[in-house]
Amino acid sequence: MDEWLKRKALKNQTSGASRTFIICESDSKQVIGFYALATGSVQRQIVSGALRRNMPEPIPVLVLGRLVVDERYHGLGLGVGLLKDAVLRSRQVAEQVGTKALLVHALSDNADAFYRHWGFIPSEIQPSTLLLPLW
């Protein structure tokens, strides 16, 4: 977690590649979780049914990257809180600019189950790519 924040987050923020949102422990101000959002696109054949209807090629999406909670804070609902914040921010963006879904690449079975539980739909041809319709 710390390594990505140190090496990538600030560089991506400065270059405009993504924006990183963090939560900190109230006393120490130590980062205990974060996620990153970026713009992107996905090929129509990767997206299932209703998500691709009447959409251009490629389909504009927001990409949720690196949703991470420090292991010492697992089980406290922080991951769900970060996800809800990411979805809220993404829906606000979708009201202003054209974007169809929030896309995530699940890097583990646990991550896949987490995102599916919260309504993300797996791609028919890339099951580790999941999308949540934003409208």
Q: What is the sign, positive or negative, of the torsion defined by CA atoms of 8, 41, 134, 118?
A: negative
CATH number at residue 82: 3.40.630.30
Q: What is the mean pLDDT of residues 46-63?
A: 87
Strands 59-69 and 101-105: parallel
Contact 34, 20 (CB under 8 A): yes
Q: What does the pLDDT look like over 91-116, one tens digit per residue?
A: 999 999 989 999 999 999 999 999 99
Sequence-separated (6 or more) residues with CB below 8 Å from residue 5: 20, 22, 31, 34
More confident residue, 56 or 116: 116
Containing domain of residue 66, as a range?
2-133
For the annotated catalytic residues, the residue numbers are 115
- Mean per-residue pLDDT of the chain: 91
Q: What's the total number of domains in the chain?
A: 1
Q: What is the pTM of this model?
A: 0.89
Question: Is the dihedral angle over the CA atoms 79, 80, 82, 87 positive or is it negative?
Answer: positive
